[in-house]
């Protein structure tokens, strides 16, 4: 299997734990992954501090890019990144992507992934949804993106917040085409 190049974008929706767990998971899959590029919005860093009480995103062994760095490889289709995961994805970022407003590295990278017909996974988080949010999810889906709401499942009987959040992250890892052991219904 060809090792994948993956972009992880973290935005300022609630659910920094999903970003943390995804980065933890990706760290364990070097045989399947050639590169992980990470970009965080300013609000993502604020929410991570509020919800996780640290700034540990600095410690991951990945390539970090600032949110206005249009020299990042995945700002161009020619760099051939396979998959972009936005986790969590705020309604603001979703809306900008749906309207093609590529005014920072996150929205530009998403624009690139969609135009190159590669895989975009948006782990959207808000509740309830307005019709604007729903229409933006429809637009991104019609453009080829995958909207994967941060809705945990309970049938694996998770006992901790981490186990609960991992139910979302395991689906994201599956959607990204990566092989990983996880709970599978009736397996």
Ligand X SMILES: Cc1cc2nc3c(=O)[nH]c(=O)nc-3n(C[C@H](O)[C@H](O)[C@H](O)COP(=O)(O)O)c2cc1C
Instruction: Report the interface residues with ligand X, using CB under 6 A.
Output: 11-14, 41, 43-44, 46-47, 50, 90-93, 125-126
As a whole number of angstroms, the distance between CA 90 and CA 138 comes to 15
Instruction: Collapse the DSSP code of 69 into the 3-class scheme (helix H, G, I; strand E, B; otherwise coil) and give the result.
Output: coil
For residue 84, the cross-strand partners are: 7, 120
Is 125 marked as binding a ligand? yes
**What letter would DSSP give residue 103?**
-
Is 14 marked as binding a ligand? yes
Q: Which residue has the tokens 């993956």?
A: 6
Report the residue closest to ligand X, judged by CB. 12
Nearer to ligand X, 28 or 134 (CB): 134
Is 98 marked as binding a ligand? no
Nearest to 152 by CA among 143, 165, 161: 165
Supply the minimum distance, in Å, between the C-beta of residue 94 and ligand X.
Answer: 8
Type and span of the H or E element at 25? helix 16-27
Nearer to ligand X, 33 or 89 (CB): 89
Supply the minimum distance, in Å, between the C-beta of residue 28 and ligand X.
Answer: 26
Nearer to ligand X, 127 or 186 (CB): 127
Known binding-site residues for dimethylallyl phosphate equal 155, 171
């Amino acid at each position: 299997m060809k090792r994948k190049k993956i972009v992880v974008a973290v935005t300022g929706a609630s659910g920094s734990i999903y970003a943390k767990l995804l980065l933890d998971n990706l760290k364990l899959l070097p045989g399947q992954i050639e590169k992980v590029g990470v970009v965080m919005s300013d609000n993502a860093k604020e929410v991570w501090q509020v919800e996780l009480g640290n700034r540990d995103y600095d410690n991951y062994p990945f390539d970090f890019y600032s949110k206005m760095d249009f020299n990042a490889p995945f700002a161009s289709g020619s760099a051939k990144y396979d998959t972009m995961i936005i986790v969590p994805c705020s309604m603001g970022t979703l809306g900008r992507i749906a309207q093609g407003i590529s005014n920072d590295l996150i929205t530009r990278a998403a624009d690139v992934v969609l135009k190159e017909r590669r895989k975009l996974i948006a782990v959207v988080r808000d509740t309830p949804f307005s019709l604007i949010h729903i229409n933006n999810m429809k637009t991104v889906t019609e453009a080829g993106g995958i909207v994967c709401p941060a809705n945990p499942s309970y049938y694996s009987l998770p006992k901790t917040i981490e186990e609960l959040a991992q139910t979302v992250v395991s689906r994201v890892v599956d959607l990204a085409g990566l092989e990983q052991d996880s709970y599978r219904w009736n397996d």
